[in-house]
Structure 1
């Protein structure tokens, strides 16, 4: 159907990579998108997604050509995904391209094959760190080569009715003609939803006489739920600092309870309650009307929830993308489609056909000092081949190949995933 004949109410098509248990999926469905396909490596999470939303899920490594064929979905309205976050997480080693779970650059390469009308990829706040400035620049530059304008934004789930902070770094990209109509969703007005408000009915359901007082004590948003991975993490609410933050909200973060407090349960002042799976899903943004059920055992269920993208945030972004694709609202005046500049040192190296000296790179870097440029070079060298050459007694720098996985048949990632299949998540 020609784009100008599409009904504003007609569902838009969606391919979702690394879909997990469906937090992003649910939000995008509410925003008016319908899956053509979802891809997820964890079979239990795939079962959750399929059974709740009726989505066709291809189970396996999203980068394995035997699992799905990207070219079969050419022209889809939205290509979305929550590619694995450990490569960029401040809680980990921030290995970036050296982590076999890094699929961000790979996902961008699929844009050249699928040619979607819009792209939406999300990850942890760590990707916004200076350490990954060159990585982000390469992403935007590659999108520009493909005819898309990309824009990054750090969003907090608590601004969209979710009772936890949960910052997420989101990339949205579209051709200029559509991107001109894209506006990031605005934060909800009014007071934030607190943990106590969100969970009061679940704490009180079995007659716990302290439920009202607990609600008053849990009168703030929670820290970010940490789902962990198959390498690390279990059914608790995260590392020591996260558990301490939950303790301030009168929640025991050392594990997940099988059931809520009952009429015999002691006061939260002496024995803080633990969250149940249903409570954790509520903290992540699922609502009672979603009637969502998670497959698997308790640890798997919690991991699915803790690693999910909050549905209300996905819905808000999805509605903004849908509006842009339909050219709703007022177009931005700027039609240039210029790529944002995240790392001038990387950009100078990438655009030069000759090795550059430290002095030349200092001139390209507005913040200017030699030590600042050397720090940028060290960061760039973690994700790119960076060659040092001597030209007439002066040390110069030449940018080599990107180290990341973009689909190469001979990349080291394939062996790691093959050997440690059950540990990759």
Structure 2
């Protein structure tokens, strides 16, 4: 199935959609370090990005008319700074708000479905009106704002037209807030997904159910099976998961930092000949509010930061209380990037790409579910068409 990627960053969503069976034709991204990452892996023959056309620059400047009809999926994560807790929270007043640009690309390409993700901050009460506006804007991409029209006035018009006159192009949009740790990602990373299906696609879709849980991790640590598997000495068996253990929980345990880093050697200044981007970054220190991610729990959400990478979220805290920065490869493991995928640039830029990324495993889970329902919709539509032709043929004979 054909797909287009917007605001691709270092490639987390792109890799996930490829693993789900989509073939990304064009990726648009303005950050040169991220574009170098995509091009370097593509030119190096990495299979999940082979043949992609990397468009470096503003997504609004891409000539989308060159993309042929029949796109199945548009995916992307518009810049999160307008809505993140660490940003200024300016929403529509922030020039980095790219939700209108996203809706415009959907209008032009008319994909059968889209996956748009962003930070949990978008669901804050302060953004409630804009959050609802985004849903209507994505649901009706052809109802564009008039020249000089504020987003508030556009929102009111969208509400009125949503309940009366309908545009030719409509999408059924389902927003869902999820924790990546609940889907096997070794990191507590909350993201909001807007998944939409074109109105002529009978998808009958719902967001995939969680596969992992905190209670299952707590149970595995309480009965020592987790500690025994990792051969952790008894004096270091400290549980930090603040939830009750449910013995009959059918889900798998949350994956921890220790789970993610299993098999990686301890990093050194000179790096590793076997593992890409696995170089020790000195200078980590702990202070109030920046204690790092405990090794026997899912990591805190990796962050890109507005003024460089903050230390607390991107540090490993070992059982003895010592801290050090995650290497780029370790951070890539926490974001479930493949070991063969190289992150281009110095440590700060590579970590920025990872801090902005969608975890590959979470992207694959969502994209695979979308693809399965697109396949089913195609099958049912084809079967209905055959039935109608057969019925018409019978009617013709009878007549």
Pairwise TM-score range, normalised by the shorter structure? 0.5 to 0.7
SS of the equivalent of 2:252 reads: coil
| Contact preservation (8 Å) 1:157, 1:310 | yes
Paired residue for 1:170?
Answer: 193
SS of the equivalent of 1:281 reads: helix
Unaligned runs of 5+ in 1: 1-11, 208-216, 251-267, 332-425
SS of the equivalent of 1:201 reads: coil
> Which of residues 193, 196, 200 in structure 1 aligns to 2:262?
200
| Contact preservation (8 Å) 2:59, 2:101 | no
> Which of residues 11, 28, 39 in structure 1 aligns to 2:17?
28
Q: How many residues align?
A: 282
How far apart in 1 are the matches of 2:34 and 2:375?
A: 32
| Contact preservation (8 Å) 1:41, 1:61 | yes
CA RMSD of aligned residues (A): 2.6
Deviations 1:368-393 (A, max 9, x none): xxxxxxxxxxxxxxxxxxxxxxxxxx
Q: TM-score, normalised by structure 2?
A: 0.65
> Which residues in structure 2 correspond to 1:128-277 (within 5 Å)?
128-142=123-137, 143-144=139-140, 145=167, 146-178=169-201, 180-188=203-211, 189-204=251-266, 218-228=295-305, 232-237=306-311, 242=313, 249-250=317-318, 269=320, 271-277=322-328
Unaligned runs of 5+ in 2: 42-48, 141-166, 212-250, 273-293, 381-399
CA positional deviation for 1:275: 1.2
Deviations 1:59-112 (A, max 9, x none): 001112xx3335634431101111100011122121001111100122112222
> Which residues in structure 2 correspond to 1:406-417 (within 5 Å)?
none
Summarize the Cα distance change of 1:298–1:70 in structure 2 as closer, same or farther, 3 Å threshold.
farther
CA positional deviation for 1:177: 4.3
Q: Does 1:58 align with 2:55?
A: yes
| Contact preservation (8 Å) 2:64, 2:108 | no
| Contact preservation (8 Å) 2:4, 2:73 | yes
CA positional deviation for 1:51: 2.6
CA positional deviation for 1:271: 3.5
| Contact preservation (8 Å) 1:79, 1:118 | yes
How far apart in 1 are the matches of 2:362 and 2:252?
A: 17
CA positional deviation for 1:174: 0.8
How far apart in 2 are the matches of 1:329 and 1:197?
A: 39
